[in-house]
Structure 1
Amino acid sequence: MAMDPRLNDLLRWGIENTVPSDPSAAPSSTGDAAGAPRTTLNAEALAAIMGAPSDADMMKASIENITSTDPDITLESKLIAFDNLEQLVESLDNANLLSKLGLWTPLLELLAHEHDQLRLMAAWCVGTAVQNNAPSQERLVALGGVEKLVTMALGERLPVPVEKRGTVNDEATTEEKKEEAAVETPAAPTAGETKDVRRKAVYALSSAVRNYQPALDVAAKELRNRGEEVQEGIDASDMEAVNELIDGLKQRALNA
């Protein structure tokens, strides 16, 4: 079996930093006798040695907690997990891990959650992850996230998928469950989006479109499709033009 490279680094570090048996042999601060540099331990190796979870582990655990249907996991617990996730994706490397870990899809699904505080946190995390981050902006566009944010920014609730609404009654018979599933369709909620969620969606949209033309083009097109007057040919690097677009949406959310 191949040795974990982190453990290999630890072994080399231990050998290099062992006190020599000959007291007269002065340790080198820069390397061995041949001048080779000493092995250093990075944060990932130290975390593995100490048994601490990696950032990737914590990100996956956060999403699992937030999306869990376990009734013992409270709303407060989910909000704490979301807060932890938002802080983690402030790091560019961690934001890019969302794609590698397959977490973008569940994160975007949370924009349609039944609870407004979780929708707000989802928009906040999205905005943080895509800020000044072209790879994350690209993933948001590819997964239809920009259209979702436009919908929310304009005050409309995203439809809640059938499987995400409520909990299944385990006591119902198989036929009853089939009948229930047959009549349920993922219709949009009748109530509009809350003011606070709208504002956070505008923030996320602002982060998504700045200096990333594909996201701005999608946002502008979606806004026009919804009857909004949007200037043609806005340059994503023109902060004055982008600010004008975003400030208009922000003011509408504030006045809602």
Structure 2
Amino acid sequence: MAQNKSLNELLKWSIENSTTPQSNPSPDSAADTEGAAAQQQPTSTEATPRNLDPELLAQLFGGPSDAELMQAAVAHATSRDPEITLESRLTALDNLEQLIESLDNANLLSKLGLWTPLLGLLGHGEARIRLMATWCVATAVQNNAPCQERLVALGGVERLVAMALGERASAPAEEEAGEEGQQKQQEESNDAAAVTGDAETATGAQNEEDKDVRRKAVYALSCAVRNYQPAMDVCTSQLRKKGEQVENIDAADMDAINDVIDNLKEKVMKA
């Protein structure tokens, strides 16, 4: 049905933009024809040729769909190719953010398996990448319960709370490193810390998060918890674990949510 509709649209466009062939006028009637044409004035009601819908052209001639563009953007941003520049990665994430402003496209993140790599970028070594990834998360979950559910299921709310409070999100483990390798590396790090007496290294203290990234994390939290109780419950629970005095909050209570968000914003400003 969709293909037939596209073909019908193409046919309609072709008819609207075609010219009516005229028979060759005889010499005797040429003067009369020219006179009539001179007297005929164009009216404002005449239809003007319309441009063909770019999405229709993409369907007809095999252009990339939004889903394919989203996959390409995430693949580009997360690629380990050293020749891909930082600016190119940021552009890819900016394109992704614009695509997922559409609720339908935002919901494709789950179907395309893009949530995990996107959340992985919250722990990227470059602050601007973390900021853009956080922005994408905020756009996806805003007024979108299916995306809010995915964020909760994948532990994204916990990461956003930590980032908002100034903790750097941990980078995803290398694919080549198994659990045993990671455990051994942690044990070696702790042993070295015990020898030097470095308590902070022994506990794996993280670097502080960039201030701009913290602001965006607060914004993403604000989008994630509104009108979605599971996200609100995780948020308040995590805040209490980190020493914040927060009571349970109804996800539909905008005033109470604003108080929490404003408090987090104030902490960022004072940092």
* TM-score, normalised relative to structure 1: 0.77
Q: Are positions 1:192 and 2:203 aligned together?
A: no
Superposed displacement of residue 161, structure 1: 2.8
CA contact (8 A) 1:211 1:236 kept: yes
Q: Are positions 1:249 and 2:250 aligned together?
A: no
Flag the 1:114–1:219 CA change in 2: closer, same or farther, 3 A.
same
State the Cα deviation string for residues 217-236 of structure 1 (Å, max 9, x = none): 1100111111110023x111
- The match for 1:110 is 121
- Runs of 4+ residues deviating >2 angstroms: 5-19, 41-46, 179-190
Which amino acid counterpart does residue 74 of structure 2 have in structure 1?
I
Q: Give the Cα separation in 1 of the matches to 2:84 and 2:59.
A: 28
Secondary structure at 2:152 match in 1? helix
Q: How large is the Cα RMSD of the aligned pairs? A: 2.9
- The match for 1:227 is 243
Q: Which one of 93, 118, 130 corresponds to residue 82 of structure 1?
A: 93
1:1-256 aligned within 5 A:
6-11=2-7, 45-163=56-174, 183-185=184-186, 190-232=206-248, 234-256=249-271
Superposed displacement of residue 190, structure 1: 3.5
Identity between Structure 1 and Structure 2 (%): 60
Query: Number of aligned pairs?
Result: 221
Secondary structure at 2:174 match in 1? helix
Which amino acid counterpart does residue 139 of structure 1 have in structure 2?
R
Deviates more, 1:206-215 or 1:50-59: 50-59
CA contact (8 A) 1:159 1:189 kept: no
* TM-score, normalised relative to structure 2: 0.73
Flag the 1:121–1:190 CA change in 2: closer, same or farther, 3 A.
same
Which amino acid counterpart does residue 60 of structure 2 have in structure 1?
I
CA contact (8 A) 1:150 1:222 kept: yes
Flag the 1:71–1:189 CA change in 2: closer, same or farther, 3 A.
farther
State the Cα deviation string for residues 76-135 of structure 1 (Å, max 9, x = none): 000000100011111111111101111011111111111111111111000011001111
CA contact (8 A) 2:122 2:171 kept: no
State the Cα deviation string for residues 28-76 of structure 1 (Å, max 9, x = none): xxxxxxxxxxxxx987553221332111111000000000011111000
Q: Give the Cα separation in 1 of the matches to 2:206 and 2:12.
A: 67
Which amino acid counterpart does residue 101 of structure 1 have in structure 2?
L
CA contact (8 A) 1:62 1:81 kept: yes
- Residue segments in structure 2 that go unaligned for 5+ positions in a row: 16-20, 22-51, 190-202
Q: Give the Cα separation in 1 of the matches to 2:105 and 2:132.
A: 17
Flag the 1:188–1:241 CA change in 2: closer, same or farther, 3 A.
same
- Residue segments in structure 1 that go unaligned for 5+ positions in a row: 24-40, 169-178
